[in-house]
Structure 1
Amino acid sequence: MKENKVLKSSMIVMLFVIIGKILAIVRDSLMFSKFGTTYATDIYVWCFGVVFLFTSLGYGLSTTLIPILTEYIETKDLKERNSFVNNVTNVSMILTVIITGIGILCSYYIVYFFANNLSKDPIIFKQTVKILRIMFLSVLFLTLQGIVAGALQAHKEFSIPAAMAGSASLIYIIYLSLFVDRFGLTGFAITTVLAFFVQFVINVPKFKKLGYRYKIEVDLKNKDLQKLFLLMIPIIISTATMQFNLFINRSFAMSLYEGATSILEAANKVTLLTYEVFAVAVSMIVYPILSTFIVQNNYDEYKKSLVKSINIINLVMIPAALAIVILREPLISVLFLRGKFTISDVKLVSTALIFYSPTMIAYGVRDILNRAFYSAKDTKTPMIYSVVGVVINIILSAILYRYMSVPGLTLSSSISSVVITLMLLIQMNKKFKGIDFNSMIKTVWKISIASIIMGVVVYFIKKIFIMHLAPTFIVNAMILLLCSILGMIFYFYLTNLLKIKESMYLLDVFKQKIAKK
């Protein structure tokens, strides 16, 4: 494995993720423009949150399949690999069909117990149950998507899985642009099912090109299948708890006022902008690489790759979190201020976002740590700490939302995510002795210093614009563009001045590209 493999691969995948994220921004902007911060958006966001709990099935399958299939690739032929993947697919789909059926049948009770505030209006309650039943069909494709995407990543094929989100967003954009006025919220729910189907389908051609062919094979006695499901259970619990945190916060928000869930969701979307573009790309790349090092018993490279990956995450996420807080109102205005989304909505989201921003750093580092544990076939540790995180979030949310409304819910998420990430770091240090966490801490300090100085520069640039110009769409876009460009240039100058290795490498790559041209 060549040095800086993680950086190079991540940058390729990031192109696809960035395209997907741009499309997602357009999708979210259209959604808030068409529905505003109303019960329609609240219903969709809440129902999507219920269904998204079951992404843990696809994620669990993908995550546990990668190290096992990586071992198959190293030691077994295509026929054995194909048989194993078919066995996983068929058994998983039998379970998923049962879960989907139960979810559809129990939708009434799910809404009644977790969004009881809606039962005050029979029409809204009935519509919520209907939307939830439609969207439960998405779970079928989440499972298939997880298996196929996991197989591709085990073969070091990252581009197609990275393109899944973009393809789904295109489906949403087409519906919201052309058909939403005719088919409304019900059509939007059907579009969600179609979007998840498309995410699965785009992986199939590459999957087949690798030699995999579907057959009806079910062997419950297969030892690797049993091992996969045993490993998967803690991952499902761990991943589900992350989504359950969001679900709990949305349910608390549903009891506040009309549009509270929408405000929370808008803040969440902005918070995850950089996280989903960068941190997800790095964690996607690093997981199979770490799995390969474990299979090869190459623990020195494993430790180096882990520290390097965390440093890369922090290099981007720390300044991004600070910049988003400073530029939150221009950013929210450019993204959502149109149609039924108003200035007062911008103010509400802006306040909630202040308390939400630390989560993007914590999520990024936690993703790397979780996958590091998974690659070493330790699924128990992330599960335990994720459950602790849910307990912390529920307790804090139940207290803070009464006094701080939506910002209290975002603050509770930040506190729980930061605490759990620190716990995982401590546990990882105990599990793999010799990891150079001291250098990582020094790097974090350097990144923080550079970020704070950059933040001061960005703040004064924004201040100059606000003092002299009215905050129109064009002005807000200019603020974001100028602050982003000057902020990045100044920040990377400082990180190179402070001799942060990962930043220096990126600058060297950029210089080489310029020299070649």
Structure 2
Amino acid sequence: MSLVGKFMTVGGATLGSRIFGFARETLMAAALGTGPMADVFYAAFRFPNLFRRLFAEGAFNAAFVPLFSKEIEANGTDGAKRFSEEVFGVLFSVLLILTIVMELSMPLLVRFIIAPGFADDPQKFGITVSMAAVMFPYLMCMSLTAMMSGMLNSLHHFFAAAVAPIFLNVVMIGALFYALYTGADPLATAWYLSWGVLAAGILQLAVVYLGVLHAGMSIGLRFPRFTPNVKRLLILAVPAAITGGITQINQLIGQAIASAQDGAISALQYADRIYQLPLGVVGIAVGVVLLPELSRALKGGNLREAGNLQNRSIEFVLFLTIPAAFALWILSDEIIRVLYERGAFHAQNTEIVGSILAIYGIGLPAFVLIKALQPGFYAREDTKTPMRFSVVAVAVNCAAALTLFPRLGAPGIAIAEATAGWLSTILLFVTLLRRGHLVWEWALMRRTALLIVSAAVMGGALYYLRGVFAASLASGSPLLTKIGALSLLIAVSMTVYFAVAFLIGGADLGMIRRNLKRKAGAKPAPPADI
């Protein structure tokens, strides 16, 4: 399968998950709005979600995949199976201890880390503690899920791991439908969602385990032993965990600061869900596929192929995220109005969440480029350098959020996160370039400039058409009218962007055709010809 084909496989499954996520958030906006129970649920869920990114996705995508791939090359399937069982035994034991400690410490965690602003409200504080305790075991399920997903990705079985997150959204949508059908109050609705998160974690673990069995592997539970391979994994995983969870760390900092203002946490969450669509479809697809591909090329000594893979991934990211950034900036209010403005979600909520989404749009290319650049370090078993950059980015985010939030409210936190994202991107890019791990291509730089021009032309057309369709997109218009107008705007903008990009040379059919035909392990074409 070609590189782009693999991107499309993972991206397509992720797109399905994000569509269900939109449906979930739309129902949540109608049921909870930006009220206190929405703040409570999102605050409680953020913590297990953070640890999932820290100890699961970031650590195992960065550390487990290269080592598992090396075991396959060196010792075959039997060696890889033995390694995975050693890791599973240690991971299960560590997660069990961590879960017990966190459950006992939950009141302190909520008071000092998750939502310090809730401490003055005993009711919100108590409910947040209880819900966080219910949802925290989700971490254990998802960490084991991430390990098995790493196995599947290394074995070039991408679909099961990519489709598993859909089940979280399906279960939560079911809980919301039940709450709306029975007329449950916001508190009961939040409790249904909390138990739904735990149930979804168990279901996702079952899905990837079946995927591993289908791929011809099995995992037995071994007594935990710190073998040399496991020790090497931990050495790589700890810094990778911090780096992989950089976005979540920044969001947790923002949440802690935002907890001082009613409705700020849920406003950030609703905007986050929108920009997670392109981030998930493009960024996660690139990160998941690129790491095992780079690892394979480097282990085989194919340095030229590795450099080509890196650059083509960057090109793919820019081709899709630059226009998305322009569109989110210009249509932020309209997107929020169509998706969320109903029930408990009012016009004033649209204005706040729309301003946050516009700022996230500016940071979108950076957030996705990070996913394309980090594998350049991880495939070389260097997880410390990205970690150092993450520490710098977190410090900048924290300082900026504390400075801007008192003046701008929740949008100030979004500005801080976008700034930290661009700083991380620049540091990663420059370092790869200086080390010679990234090949400078003037052709790629030229096409990037032309893509920005194409997106600017699209943005101008979009800004004009937004005024033409203003009445159809207004708050009082029927929902179907708003959906139709927004869909037409998006369709026109995509047509304009692609037409201009191909016309002026920002993209060409030959480039896309060569990428689509490229087979794994095939000798890549010279950079100048791509």
1:128-177 deviations in whole A, cap 9, x for unaligned? 11011111111110211011100000001111111022122111111110
Whether the 8 Å CA contact 2:317–2:368 is kept in 1: the answer is: yes
2:526 aligned residue: none
Q: Percent identity?
A: 22
Farther-moved stretch of structure 1 (329-338 vs 395-404): 329-338
SS in 1 for 2:469: helix
Whether the 8 Å CA contact 2:18–2:276 is kept in 1: the answer is: no
Once residues 139 and 359 of structure 1 are traced to their aligned partners in structure 2, the CA distance between those partners, rounded to angstroms, is 27
Number of aligned positions between the proteins: 506
2:67 aligned residue: 68
Structure 2: gaps (5+ residues): 517-530
2:492 aligned residue: 486
Quote the offset at 1:503 in angstroms.
6.0
Alignment of 1:160 onto 2:160: yes
Whether the 8 Å CA contact 2:473–2:486 is kept in 1: the answer is: no
Whether the 8 Å CA contact 1:47–1:131 is kept in 2: the answer is: yes
Cα distance change, pair 458–72 in 1 and its aligned pair in 2 (3 A): same
Once residues 502 and 275 of structure 1 are traced to their aligned partners in structure 2, the CA distance between those partners, rounded to angstroms, is 24
Quote the offset at 1:469 in angstroms.
6.9
Q: Which amino acid aligns with 2:154?
A: A
Quote the offset at 1:209 in angstroms.
2.2
Equivalence map 1:39-54=2 (5 Å): 39-54=36-51
Match of 2:13 among 5, 13, 16: 16
Equivalence map 1:48-197=2 (5 Å): 48-55=45-52, 56-59=54-57, 60-114=59-113, 115-179=115-179, 181-182=183-184, 183-197=188-202
1:457 aligned residue: 461
Equivalence map 1:57-456=2 (5 Å): 57-59=55-57, 60-114=59-113, 115-179=115-179, 181-182=183-184, 183-218=188-223, 220-256=225-261, 258-432=262-436, 435-456=439-460
Once residues 219 and 121 of structure 2 are traced to their aligned partners in structure 1, the CA distance between those partners, rounded to angstroms, is 47
Whether the 8 Å CA contact 2:332–2:357 is kept in 1: the answer is: yes
1:37 aligned residue: 34
Whether the 8 Å CA contact 2:465–2:489 is kept in 1: the answer is: yes
1:229-261 deviations in whole A, cap 9, x for unaligned? 1110110121233311100101111102x2111
1:405-445 deviations in whole A, cap 9, x for unaligned? 11111111111111111111100101225612433322221
SS in 1 for 2:374: helix
SS in 2 for 1:306: helix
Structure 1: gaps (5+ residues): 511-517
Quote the offset at 1:467 in angstroms.
5.1
Whether the 8 Å CA contact 2:502–2:508 is kept in 1: the answer is: no
Q: Which amino acid aligns with 1:142?
A: M
Once residues 410 and 311 of structure 1 are traced to their aligned partners in structure 2, the CA distance between those partners, rounded to angstroms, is 26
Alignment of 1:27 onto 2:24: yes
Q: Which amino acid aligns with 2:492?
A: L
Whether the 8 Å CA contact 2:472–2:481 is kept in 1: the answer is: no
SS in 2 for 1:212: coil
SS in 2 for 1:327: helix
Farther-moved stretch of structure 1 (7-16 vs 161-170): 7-16
Q: Which amino acid aligns with 1:136?
A: F
TM-score (norm 2): 0.92
Q: Which amino acid aligns with 2:328?
A: I
